[in-house]
Amino acid sequence: MAFTLNLKILFFLLYGFVPKQEELTFTAAKSRILAQYKTYNAEKDFGAKTTSFEISDNGFIRYRRTAPDNKSEYYSVKLDKFKDASYLGDEKAGWLLLEFTDEAVIYQTYNDKTGNVDEMLTEIKIPLKNIDVNDINSLYDAMKALKQSGI
């Protein structure tokens, strides 16, 4: 009897740490997108000094790139505003276009010699290179899975 009771306590303790199915889907999709961004990122080819692309656990997409003159561009948007994704280009090089509802993307620039910008956009363009068609489709599927996760 004591042995059974201990197993029940162990089960209930572990149950709190088992991720829900939605979280597994979200985590897998997030990992796929971030891995493909790292693999096919073409920012350096366009002169970027540093870049970062993040998807937070509470559903925010944040994208930043900094030019050699330290001008920074920052994009932030809530995942539930995602509408569609497309790819403009070929397997050698192109742009991943993430589309969101009207004026959902916060766009800001810092250290811009012509003046800093703070405006709302509907899309984020990310340059990619040497990407296979299957990986483009995989990115699209992962973005849809993120939105469907409801996070």
Q: What is the tens place of the pLDDT at every residue in 66-97?
A: 999 999 999 999 999 999 999 999 989 999 99
Contact indicator for 146, 30 with CB cutoff of 8 Å = yes
Q: What is the dihedral of CA 66, 40, 134, 87, to 10 degrees?
A: 30
67 φ/ψ angles, rounded to the nearest 5 degrees: -85, 165
In the prediction, which pLDDT does 93 show? 93
Contact 96, 73 (CB under 8 A): no
**Contact yes or no for 98/75 (Cβ under 8 A):** no
Report residue 122: phi and psi, to 5°: -115, 0
Question: Does the predicted TM-score (pTM) go above 0.85?
Answer: no
Q: pLDDT tens digits, residue range 14-53?
A: 444 444 444 458 888 999 999 999 999 999 888 899 999 9
The residues that bridge with 94 in the sheet, in sequence order, are: 89, 128
Note whether 31 and 19 are within 8 A (CB): no
